[in-house]
A and B are shown apart, each in its own frame.
Chain A
């Protein structure tokens, strides 16, 4: 099978920052790959290289077998790009925006107009079609931007954080639009900070950090590696934190996360395990040990959980840390850290960690 997207040992350096540090990627024709990573991991740089916007310092990239550096113009005729910020012209109407893009793909005057109207209908923008985009909501702008990427029916679609900045309702809408698109057999490379999004839309997930791939596989395989849902407890007394960590490391996968200032301890469960069963088991142990709890719960894993398991540091942490801490996937080893079962973590602000990655 041919790869619709191929990247080999891509390197891009900005000053001291290695935005891409030997990145390898393959997306087979008709598949959807999610590039998952925190801000600054190199996702956007990767998309910019693959869409001919940025020449890499070294390495090779091909789209549908065409080298992006040697024949950027031919690559551009086969791709669609929807960037992180809706790149639509505010003063033009939705129709004018799409018609312009069609003309610039050289579809011709008539076909451009027809295509623009079709896409506006497909993206439920018919009513707003002849209004300036400045009157659109954020979700509508994103849909229009995505429609723009589809004007020439590209073979390969690049979506850079298609739902960042959208409210939950618009995000769910967008997921539906993307799911339909994917069902049509378009090859898609999308980047995201949300594990849930990658899980929902992609066949395969590549986790990157510091411009390198640190894990790769199907969503299920990744979950098997990092665990499924996460169970968490809040202890009543701070002195019980260490004991709580020890107890949870006995029932979960990998080292529990302790957030001392919140008196919260959490641990992912094994992918095949039923989280509620594990939680009940854990509660029995807490009861037996006489540890009082204020709160218990089950939640879905976030990007932070993935990072913590794969690299030993939370997603945000990696940015200022040493360059090679996130270098390679670390074998997951339960209870591995200095016997206590508690990773050596500074206080991580709780709220940011729970929603994936807080804005930097």
Chain B
């Protein structure tokens, strides 16, 4: 029996079968970082191969925003009037925001599925970086979101949406949407690793996300809401992201913000504060959940 104390010197226990780089010794921090990045890429690649082979998920996550664009543009658009701006232009930023918020559930569902199928167990038994599965997952979901945003932009342009700002501002708007979605992905990662069932992730998030994206200025200006609800909507980060995107795309029709809420006067800053806050809380939390995650 080997004594419990002390460490095994590198190479000592490495048998003749071990290839280079596989052994019980310590890994220097620099190499560890390189490995972590490479691990993240390997996992992201794996997730993207899956999207390629099973495009259903991508198709449906893209179809539903297209449906929303068409429904709101042609059904509600005929009844809803937003002062000073074409409703279809007003609408697009909101639908972009709603779509990326819903898109974050894919992160949770993907992790829950991996957990259920024992794939997380396999990953956890490998000497890979402890964050790679999460980094790879969330990174792949950014790629997903880019595809979805492109498809939606084209649909929007077809129904009369126009970007009326500069290229830089417009790119800034898309970037903000992606960054906000990225933060939410980490939040959903915790949900996925906790509830362990893709279906439950889907249903649970629906119950939260639907009101979250509707009690906001996504589809209608928040000014008209009853007092209590209006305050919620004004400080809802979804409103800030919608407002910021709307301004960055030049879709406000030059109308000033009538609300007194600081959040709507500084939507970009307010949205970025949320992004930072979510990441600060949920990155460590999801790493912890991952390490404790038990398959079946």
A residues at B contact (CB < 8 Å):
2-3, 6, 26, 48, 51-54, 60, 62, 64-67, 71, 73-79, 81, 83-92, 96, 100-101, 103-108, 111, 115, 132, 148, 152-153, 155
Contact = CB atoms under 8 A, between A and B. Distances in A.
A65 B15 CA distance: 13
B127 to A, nearest CB: 4
B125 A81 contact: yes
B13 A65 contact: yes
B214 interface: no
Contact of B2 (A2, A77, A83, A155): A2
B144 to A, nearest CB: 15
Q: In the A-B complex, list the 3 residue pairs whose CB atoms are closest, starting with the nearest.
A: A87-B118, A65-B2, A87-B122
B228 interface: no
Contacts of A108: 20-21
A170 B217 CA distance: 59
A106 B8 contact: no
A60 B5 CA distance: 11
Nearest to B54: A91
Contacts of B39: 103-104
Most central of B17, B24, B296 by chain A CB within 10 Å: B24
A111 B19 contact: yes
B81 interface: no
A106 B18 CA distance: 12
B289 interface: no
Contacts of B20: 108
Contacts of B7: 71
A155 B124 contact: no
A66 B127 CA distance: 14
A71 B24 CA distance: 9
Contacts of B35: 106
A153 B42 contact: no
5 contacts: A3-B1, A53-B125, A64-B13, A87-B119, A108-B21
A6 B1 CA distance: 8
A148 B122 contact: yes
A76 B126 contact: yes
B274 to A, nearest CB: 33
A276 B296 CA distance: 44
B125 A105 contact: no
B235 interface: no
B266 interface: no
A107 B21 contact: yes
Contacts of B4: 60, 62, 67
B128 to A, nearest CB: 4
Contacts of B27: 73
A75 B42 CA distance: 22
B18 A153 contact: yes
Given A6-B2, A66-B8, A83-B121, A73 B127 contact: yes
A100 B42 contact: yes
Nearest to A111: B19
Contact of A91 (B42, B53, B123): B53
Interface string B98-132: 00000000000000000001110111111110001
